[in-house]
A = this chain, B = another copy of it.
């Protein structure tokens, strides 16, 4: 399907803000009807998220303070991809650093785009099983708690409004389909 009637085309642009974490780009673009407009968005290196299932069936969550919203969130483990880092290596590293677990069996789940209106971030989702606890290695300045929940407990938390993190809801949709809906994923060899 050609999407010429929807597509916007870059004319030029510049980096309007370059911080420690965020980079904001401002581009001039041509709209499908030939009008010109301005698009502002965050340039992001991408991230991974891990659905980590213990042998007893429970999933690994984190409780972490998120400054922009000034409160603690219950969320699946996730973290930014380092420059040049392989996404599976990143998933292994984040799971280990944040939760202290290593996994024997990995599968690739899929990708989500959390914020398509104003960020180019993608989140690559992995499923990790065969977990073994080998100990934390949090980054300096990183504070979080590890929590184990069954899928039903997590879904109850969504219903009750205790899980509202978008990437985590997306991960739970995938998790339910994988664990109960017959969505089979090949293990990574």
Using a CB–CB cutoff of 8 Å, the interface residues on chain A facing chain B are 3, 5-8, 16-17, 19-22, 24, 26-27, 29, 31-33, 35, 37-42, 63-69, 72-73, 75, 110-123, 141, 143-145, 155, 158-159, 161, 164-167, 169-170, 172-174, 176-177, 183
Contacts and interface: CB of A to CB of B under 8 A. Distances in A.
Contacts of A119: 68, 115, 118-119
Contacts of A8: 65, 67
The A interface is mostly helix, strand or loop, or mixed, namely mixed
Given A19-B40, A27-B67, 18 more contacts: A3-B65, A5-B143, A6-B64, A8-B65, A16-B17, A17-B17, A20-B38, A22-B118, A32-B143, A39-B68, A66-B116, A110-B158, A111-B164, A115-B121, A159-B177, A166-B167, A169-B169, A173-B176
B7 A65 contact: yes
Contact of A114 (B40, B111, B114): B114
The residue among A19, A41, A166 with the most chain B CB atoms within 10 A of its own CB is A166
Contacts of A174: 158, 169
A143 B6 contact: yes
Nearest to A67: B39
9 contacts: A17-B17, A31-B143, A66-B113, A68-B119, A75-B116, A112-B164, A112-B169, A166-B167, A169-B174
A67 B41 contact: yes
Contacts of A20: 38, 40
Nearest 9 Cβ contacts at the A-B interface: A169-B170, A41-B68, A114-B166, A17-B17, A173-B173, A66-B116, A68-B120, A6-B65, A115-B115
